[in-house]
């Protein structure tokens, strides 16, 4: 274990044998950090925070402090971070609230760039990219492979679907369907995230099916329930189509971006 003498690590913290703690870090008593993780200078990790294997956390990041929620009264809530995440400078990640399930959760292989804020009770899947200055209100859920552009603001309780792309400087007030691209001050759908689909090497058949489903769901004059049924009638069952339909059928707190 490589802990710089200037770091303040509570004796009750649980650190794997090969964890690296750089100068002037502060690690609280209820923190656990898994093997192969490197905690950069001036990082503060507090609260009931569990960090997995192979994470890289850069200077001046703050993880596990109390949520910015007026209902919070000091309860034992958590931050749980998975494996192989890169968390860059000045990121803040707050722990959950009792009414939101109690846990802010980040999956694996995510890239979280400078000055990102992840509020209480947010859930990030795997392989998510959040560009510099992006901000999540409380209770936001972001599914796998989504990309959030720079200086994006996402409203509380919004869901971001698998493989979605949010252009920079966007304000997102409603759920973003999987595989789509949205942008704008008050963000609106601009089409499918074709670049993201290509990077994931989806088949031509799947991309064509998603294009047709997109037109039926979001560019026809049908009621949403009728559009969903039309997609089911006209397109064969593919994992991506099923995922898209499941997303738009789920109960939404904010409605679907159109």
Catalytic annotation, residues: 120-121, 138
Contact predicate 63/80, CB 8 Å: no
**Gap between the Cα atoms of 187 and 88, Å rounded:** 26
Determine the Cα–Cα distance for residues 190 and 198; give it in Å rounded to an integer: 17
> Which residues have C-beta within 8 Å of that of residue 190, sequence separation ≥ 6?
167, 180, 181, 182, 183
User: CA 44: distance to chain centroid?
Assistant: 21
- Tokens representing 162 are 């698998």
CA distance 177 to 129: 17
């Amino acid at each position: 274990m490589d802990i710089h003498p200037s770091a303040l690590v509570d004796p009750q913290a649980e650190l794997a044998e090969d964890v690296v703690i750089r100068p002037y870090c502060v690690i609280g008593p209820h923190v656990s950090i898994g093997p192969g993780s490197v905690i950069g200078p001036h990082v503060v990790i507090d609260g009931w925070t569990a960090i997995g294997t192979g994470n890289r956390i850069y200077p001046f990041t703050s993880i596990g402090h109390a949520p910015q929620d007026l209902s919070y009264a000091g309860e034992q809530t958590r931050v749980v971070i998975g494996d192989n995440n890169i968390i860059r400078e000045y990121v803040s990640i707050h722990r959950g609230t009792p009414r939101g399930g109690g846990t802010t959760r980040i999956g694996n292989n995510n890239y979280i760039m400078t000055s990102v804020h992840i509020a209480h009770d947010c859930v990030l899947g795997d392989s998510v990219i959040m560009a510099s200055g992006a901000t999540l209100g409380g209770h936001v859920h972001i599914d796998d492979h989504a990309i959030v552009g720079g200086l994006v603001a996402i409203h509380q309780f919004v869901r971001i679907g698998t493989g979605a792309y949010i252009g920079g400087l966007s304000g997102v007030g409603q759920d973003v369907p999987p595989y789509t691209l949205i942008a704008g001050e008050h963000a609106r759908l601009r089409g499918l995230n074709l670049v993201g689909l290509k990077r994931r090497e989806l088949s031509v058949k799947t991309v064509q099916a998603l294009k047709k489903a997109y037109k039926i769901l979001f560019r026809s004059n049908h009621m949403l329930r009728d559009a969903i049924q039309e997609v089911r009638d006209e397109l064969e069952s593919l994992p991506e189509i099923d995922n898209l339909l499941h997303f738009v059928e789920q109960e939404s707190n904010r409605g679907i971006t159109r």
